[in-house]
Structure 1
């Protein structure tokens, strides 16, 4: 160690003065009064003077980013290499780059949205011109990056920072397998390179797990700094409203009363789009921010919120971590997250730089169904994992996700997550061209997966308890994060009384009901066969011929929306007995048909390119709801004064087959020979000589409609218009 380093260890006063000066630049303080918090200084001292590893668990807004930016500046002055920050979201990366510039720190990012800059960024790193490199956790296992860039980066790194480190732990609410690859990078770091992990949302179990994953658990000199999690600026409250229309009406009536601009969180993309449309009609300037939002539109929405050009972003958890707007005045949840830790993290976006911010939870009856859906995509059972490993072992080449998907019963996103876990565990490896099996022994940790599932159930119960609690809400959340200093806050609705009425105006309620009860969702047709069908013996590939496609269809609603979804979910639930179509649902379907016929491109629109009017109705055979589907088809035929031509029925081979609910290729494989058009139906189609309505109860993936429409087109239907009660999206 240099004499300078020895002096700093024995008398760090000069180093702290230098650190405070960097902080002043970071926070744009010209008065010279900016001072690091004691724990901020302890972390910086450990990293810079002690070259130690540190885990910092502190509330949102505490200043965790100041720790690694100040430490970076001090380390760079002492000749250290660049800081590498592993950061999970583009929004967070953008904030961090801007913050670094204030401290005269040159930061660059390598992520999925700037691939055209990667070569020049790597050249800048090699030239020593980059102080901070931000990378996504997914980049750590990109073959080119992992094999060519990462070893050089690990050798040159002066400080490794793991932001949002709770993502490392599968006990946490936002586990990401790619984060666990950091163990490899840690193992390759030269001795004496400091490491900092930061998070605002880790209870004691997650903290211990993160420490172990990072290697800090075995380091006798590792520093863990865990502070109180109270947010003095936040006033928490819950409003129990009877239904989705009342919650939407409450927003229309009261959004203007909330301070400044803020975020309205929803649980699904469909709900975010519904709420955005409704609030715009009510006269508010709002924008939608979801996983479906294009990157450029996301960036524009972030900028509009930062500049207070919108009253709110209506967002899913895509805006969960890292978005930094110090004067954010409110966070409203339209629907309850399944974890109090996730909830604490999201509400922590508000009130970071203002004295008071409002936080409101408006729970809904549909929340439980949405929790169950997300729980259903947990780590697969052992037989599916073993099947995947066997397929990879038997292949004589790497298999890409599209090539592997048809061979296993897993949807692509779930398959990819599983492979990442197996990769970290050493059972598979990602290489150029796809994935290969390593042949290393691997054990399915069923006990741990069961414990994690049990923990998820406990978190869901905690959110139910939070919504019903008569005690201090901030204290409740802090205790969920194992904050031993938790005490009544004196600010929440239970401590100080509710600041908002749960009353809604008749006009707003009528409008909301009209919007949510407005039936009709477009059902896009499948136009391309899934890749890899040849591998499972199906000779279909590429674009579905126009002469065999269905037309655009309609559904009464989405199962995930907060309007008709609330009516359709119990009707189509597996435990609901089969029965005739309810009158209110049938009447709504008639409304959908009427709007469809008269709308743009409808057969009653009068346009020169309008399709011919349907001349008959065909139903899809149903194992679980034959009476529901049959009665729906009959009602449509009766009201539309069209003949009920018949049903696409199951073949003997398809009678017992159950379509895969996981990936498209496996679903098409099962459906391909499962249906048939009887000679009687084929004759009726030829005699009718026109388009038909194809009626089913639900479209989960669109492949049942695609396969049955193809059969009808080939049997003589000139066009097929799908009509279903619900779509899964």
Structure 2
């Protein structure tokens, strides 16, 4: 190493000690990355395990690039810009951690995100004044029209270092593809020559690594791969502190009971991951009922609640966060003692990413997978939300104009896609140049666009292979950590000597009778709320449906009830067998009827009782499950000694209540298709109390809402919806 480079390394070591303590030393690959960024102004991709110190690389590089005084600055090329480092980071939690870490190293860091809109002008002024060393932004911010058009060009022109954190999100081959990350192509294209770029991830196999490296280059080709100026640093993915194990337990009740029995044997505090929001909430509630201090963490929770839960775990005030994948990236607790999964993630890569949160600064941490038979069904559901078929994409492009923007809400009545899926598709089309996001919505660009069906098939096949690999992980007879490392194409993978396959079972599979009984009782409780709709979807008038604004109170249903959700740990499996895809029609089973009776009892005498007892039963006609719905209404009427008044007749298509469409499409398809026969209208108009409206499955809730509306318009004083299952 030349004398000049040695001096730069010495300065880098000094900055690291400010950041991480007096004993800290740069690893060789850390120095290689810093050298490439600071001295050679190259583009670098670091694929390194969690805890390796990726953030130290970009903070040290930032400090060196931003220094303006002292002899060491004479060693560096000052002809290139030395503006702020821009870090594109996926989650606010990670941004908060990074700002705190930067401050410890004397680095001035700010964030621009949806939570601090009122600070944008001040932050922009600070950047122009040279007072900001690091600016953290979310990938979504890159395509915000005001930011993209007003801030991004100037920011790119003055960026001293671009950092792409969690870079596997750039690739649709990765486990957590995010279309907004593709907007980085524009950012990269606007950077001045020789602006260094650092991309970091802990979870990328060889294919994802190649894809990300190619996107970092400006002229990638399939034949040549990444440009020579993209330095790829892949390290060993071994995690010496982790002990991996799998417990194959027969039911959700056994898994909850096992946790209640053994949580105290897991070191420190940790994370319990679940596959669905409902499971996270149920698990947290059960563990609290058994005396454990835990909190639920999901993407549906308020930001303030998530931040409070994060802080409680950081402060060791709780034993565990029970979390969905919303906590997967962006949470840094070096002494996290364990990660338990109730249900397997859909790929070994996703699993490695999540378990990597544990054991970063402790000698050992426990990692346990408790898979469930329902895992595959949950994987299939999320896979169904992938990029839509070509005819749906073409319908969106046909609906967009080139002269006036259309909002996402206004598009919904025109295309049969739910909001999240529609927005994801529009972002991909934006990156591809077919549409453009502007103030007020989306514009078609008129540019030619082709549907890459072959690539989408390959991605779907890769996803299926990953799911199979996760099944095989649970049953492998070999080293578990080696299996994960080989799935990530770690050439250094060897047996760990610590996991349950290498060293024997780490925990017993037994569940105490007390805990198992408690879990069975808890999960066996039927009853979830059906919240009434109060507003019509936006844009219905544009497709000839004369409904808008608030649903008239005189046409609304009251709050309703269902036995359970299809995603529930307890009733979910039983209900999927009755109303899930492909379930055969037949009379309602006795055990489910008994559960309905329990729901009705709790509804009558619980904390939020119905306003008065129903005085009649009406069902919604069903094409797919007429026997199930009819027998359910008949048995409720018989048990409750209520008159069975008839059916609301549906002349619409079954697809109108399928799992795919958005609210506007449901209302559009249902409008004018629901009829209250004359004899039923006469009967409900003479009632002096509410009608119990019975159906099998509530998905969007619009069939029940509009059937209740027709009954109210026919004279029913009130309508109480009752269903077997709630889809989500």
- TM-score w.r.t. length of structure 2: 0.96
Equivalent in the alignment of 1:344: 352
Equivalent in the alignment of 1:624: 624
**Structure 2 CA distance for partners of 1:68 and 1:115, relative to 1, 3 Å:** same
Equivalent in the alignment of 2:642: 642
Q: Which runs of 5+ in 2 are unaligned?
A: 69-77, 219-224
Equivalent in the alignment of 1:125: 127
Cα distance in 2 for residues equivalent to 1:536 and 1:399:
14
Equivalent in the alignment of 1:4: none
Q: What SS class does the counterpart of residue 686 from structure 2 fall into?
A: helix
The correspondence for 2:373, drawn from 339, 353, 365, is 365
Q: CA deviation at 1:440?
A: 0.6
Q: CA deviation at 1:690?
A: 2.0
The correspondence for 2:41, drawn from 40, 51, 56, is 51
1:532-571 correspondence to structure 2 within 5 Å: 532-571=539-578
Cα distance in 1 for residues equivalent to 2:217 and 2:383:
29
Q: CA deviation at 1:644?
A: 0.5
Matched, 1:583 2:573: no
- TM-score w.r.t. length of structure 1: 0.96
Matched, 1:22 2:12: no
Q: CA deviation at 1:470?
A: 1.1
After the TM superposition, which of the residue ranges 170-179 and 8-17 deviates more from structure 2?
8-17
The Cα offsets for residues 582-622 of structure 1, whole Å up to 9 and x where unpaired, read as 1000100000001101113424xxxxxxx221100000010
Equivalent in the alignment of 1:574: 581
The correspondence for 1:500, drawn from 507, 526, 529, is 507
1:393-542 correspondence to structure 2 within 5 Å: 393=401, 396-542=403-549
Q: Is the 8 A contact 1:689 1:716 kept in 2?
A: no
Cα distance in 2 for residues equivalent to 1:101 and 1:503:
48
After the TM superposition, which of the residue ranges 218-227 and 552-561 deviates more from structure 2?
218-227
Cα distance in 2 for residues equivalent to 1:657 and 1:589:
27
Cα distance in 1 for residues equivalent to 2:557 and 2:217:
55
The Cα offsets for residues 71-128 of structure 1, whole Å up to 9 and x where unpaired, read as 0000000461100000001111111111111100011111111112111111111111
Equivalent in the alignment of 1:675: 674
Equivalent in the alignment of 2:695: 696
Q: Is the 8 A contact 2:280 2:323 kept in 1?
A: yes
**Structure 2 CA distance for partners of 1:9 and 1:631, relative to 1, 3 Å:** farther
Equivalent in the alignment of 1:385: 393
After the TM superposition, which of the residue ranges 15-24 and 659-668 deviates more from structure 2?
659-668
Q: Is the 8 A contact 2:691 2:720 kept in 1?
A: yes
**Structure 2 CA distance for partners of 1:327 and 1:549, relative to 1, 3 Å:** same
The correspondence for 1:331, drawn from 310, 323, 339, is 339
Q: Is the 8 A contact 1:261 1:329 kept in 2?
A: yes
The correspondence for 2:56, drawn from 57, 62, 66, is 66
The correspondence for 1:322, drawn from 318, 327, 330, is 330
Aligned CA RMSD, in angstroms, stands at: 1.2
Cα distance in 1 for residues equivalent to 2:254 and 2:623:
37
Q: Is the 8 A contact 1:241 1:502 kept in 2?
A: yes
Cα distance in 2 for residues equivalent to 1:160 and 1:602:
57
Q: CA deviation at 1:650?
A: 2.1
Equivalent in the alignment of 2:180: 178
Cα distance in 2 for residues equivalent to 1:294 and 1:309:
20
Cα distance in 1 for residues equivalent to 2:217 and 2:311:
38
Q: Is the 8 A contact 1:527 1:549 kept in 2?
A: yes
Matched, 1:375 2:393: no
Matched, 1:304 2:317: no
Matched, 1:598 2:605: yes
Cα distance in 2 for residues equivalent to 1:279 and 1:487:
37
Equivalent in the alignment of 1:211: 213
Cα distance in 2 for residues equivalent to 1:284 and 1:536:
52
The correspondence for 1:237, drawn from 245, 251, 261, is 245
The Cα offsets for residues 322-350 of structure 1, whole Å up to 9 and x where unpaired, read as 31111000000001000100000000000
Aligned residues: 709
Cα distance in 2 for residues equivalent to 1:178 and 1:348:
24
Q: Is the 8 A contact 2:293 2:318 kept in 1?
A: yes
After the TM superposition, which of the residue ranges 325-334 and 562-571 deviates more from structure 2?
562-571
Q: Is the 8 A contact 2:266 2:338 kept in 1?
A: yes
Equivalent in the alignment of 2:92: 90
Q: Is the 8 A contact 2:49 2:235 kept in 1?
A: yes
Q: Is the 8 A contact 2:204 2:488 kept in 1?
A: yes
